[in-house]
Amino acid sequence: MVSPYPSVAARYSIIRCGGCGHHFAIGPEDDATLERAYDASFHGSSQQIPGSATSPAGFNARHRARKLGNSGLCGRLLDIGAGHGSFVEAAGAWFSAEGLESSPTVAQSARDRGLSVATGAFPATIPTHRFDVITLWDVLAGLRDLHAAVDGVARALMPGGCVVFTVPLVSSRAARWAGRFWPLLIPPVNLHYFTQRSVRILLEGHGFRVGRIATEPKRVAADFLLRKALRSARMGGLEPYLGWIPLKGSINVDLGDILTVCAFSKRRDGP
């Protein structure tokens, strides 16, 4: 398949593991290609920019932070792929929260808002101190080496610490029905596509105990949803004309194809 991002226009092969059903994309995944995909149309979109508590970024961040806080988790939290820092800001009500963001410009925008967001690419960059909770919202699927990433999370967590992340669920009914037009089939932004079995194999192989696994709704900006639809239909060339359409507001979307996973480290200090 050809990447749905017009700025990338590269071809990818989608390979399926016969054992666990995991899918992964093979194709260009160098830094320059990723930078073209994560241009202003992503970080500058209405879905990602920080705003009020009712904006998509603010709503999703507050909802997720509230669920984690009310679950009894506490302590020091690291949000990997923090973007403009919406979740770091929301999580500050329950945790000592900080973030890590690979884009220097976006990380600086978070710091300009008074948030603790460092610049660095994970897992190459790992803070020296350890955390009670680590989150990766829509991030893990875009990392090149899943095993290196999960091992990095395990090393950055306190013994018994918790990791929470979201990933695209390729075994979902929506993914099967949509086929190659599935909106989350977007290499190189997503390179990995999970099943519940592949998630468990990955985590348990790195010493995690899998807790809750569930699909949940997400607040999505109306214009961003239209952009996704155009890309899925391979009509991304029409995106520059979306400014002519006065789409505002956001809606809750739940196609059952985004998996939220909570797991706990079983590692202990010492031998």
Tens digits of residue pLDDT in 157-169: 999 999 999 999 9
What type of residue is 68? L
Distance from the Cα of residue 22 to its chain's centroid: 17
Burial of 54 (0-12, 13-18, 19+ CB in 10 A): exposed
Of 11, 14, 3, 12, nearest to 37 by C-alpha is 3
Domain that holds residue 80: 46-265
Under a CB-based contact definition with an 8 Å cutoff, are residues 163 and 79 in contact? no
Burial of 128 (0-12, 13-18, 19+ CB in 10 A): exposed
Residue 4 lies in a domain: no
The SS3 call for residue 193 is strand
Return d(Cα 55, Cα 60) in angstroms, integer: 8
Confidence label for 250 from pLDDT (cuts 50, 70 and 90): confident
Count of CB atoms situated within 10 Å of the CB of 94 = 18
Residue 96 lies in a domain: yes
Residue 146 lies in a domain: yes
CATH of residue 153's domain is: 3.40.50.150
What is the rounded average pLDDT for all residues in the chain?
86
Residue 254 lies in a domain: yes
What type of residue is 191? L
Alpha carbon separation from 100 to 38, 88, 250 (Å, rounded): 16, 10, 27
With both helix axes pointing from N to C terminus, report the angle between 146-156 and 196-204 in degrees, rounded to the nearest 10.
Answer: 50
Q: What is the pLDDT of residue 44?
A: 47
Among the listed ranges 39-43, 131-135, 193-197, 226-230, which one has the minimum average pLDDT value?
A: 39-43
Read off the pLDDT of residues 105-145 as tens digits, 9 standing for 90 and up.
899 999 999 999 999 999 988 888 999 999 999 999 999 99
Residue 34 lies in a domain: no
Q: What is the pLDDT of residue 270?
A: 38
Residue 15 lies in a domain: no
Of 100, 96, 74, nearest to 85 by C-alpha is 100
Q: What is the pLDDT of residue 36?
A: 79
Tell me the two tokens of residue 79.
């949000």
User: What's this model's pTM, rounded to 2 decimal places?
Assistant: 0.89
Residue 228 lies in a domain: yes
Q: Look at the chain and report how many structural domains it folds into.
A: 1
Length of the chain: 271
Residue 66 lies in a domain: yes
